[in-house]
Structure 1
Amino acid sequence: MAVNERSTYPLRLIVELKREVERKAKANGRSINSEICLLIQESLNMSNTEIQQTLDAMQESGMVIVGREHIEGLAAKDARKPTELIPALMSIGRIHGIDFYQDQAKFNSFEFARKLGELGFDQDR
């Protein structure tokens, strides 16, 4: 899509949500449309950041991740949160060229559990 091309989509919001977006747009000096677009973009970026933080924590704890470069592409197409996506990739990632395994010399199970707990993996779904 060219820079000047715009796609339209009718968006229905509940009244409370619309008011919140209007309030936020006004506070930020933006139009409602600009605020909605920014919120969507931030949401998409946040998911990628959470995936990166999770993978970094895993590697810092001694996990080896083969094919990490493929994970971003898969995550962009998947609506699941990292706490759901990463376990799925650990079990079926090999079909996408992704593999997770422990570096026996560096792996620290307590640090691994602590870091993943901080990222929300210890919460019930």
Structure 2
Amino acid sequence: MSPSISLTIIVPASVTDSALSRAVEHFRNRCCPVWVWGTHKGSALVRMSDLLSTITDRTQENIMLEHIRKSHNEKRQPYIMDLSKDCPSPKDIQISYLRLRDLCIPDSIRLFKTQDYKFYGLFG
């Protein structure tokens, strides 16, 4: 078992074991859509791997998304977000963190005063 997969997964009641077994063969690393967070109002966050690059038929993906839609209290279509396109890369996050750290924790009092002066100068 992959360390990134939890021991317990939550799937809609309408998904059979055989349907889940068929579906996972189409997703990268055999990772089917997995419920990771929800609210009492029926909202849910579902993590889903990309389809394998060799798969051109999106039937299994659509079947899983339909099960997710049916399990929503209001039968809403899932909103799909491609995190590889919609979120910053780990490198971008690291660079942002380093810049923020350098700004908040300068190496010397002199550098702190210079940064502080520049910061307050933006508002004046």
TM-score where L is the length of structure 2:
0.28
Taking structure 1 as the reference length, the TM-score comes to 0.28
Higher RCO by CA contacts (8 Å cutoff, separation 6 or greater): 1
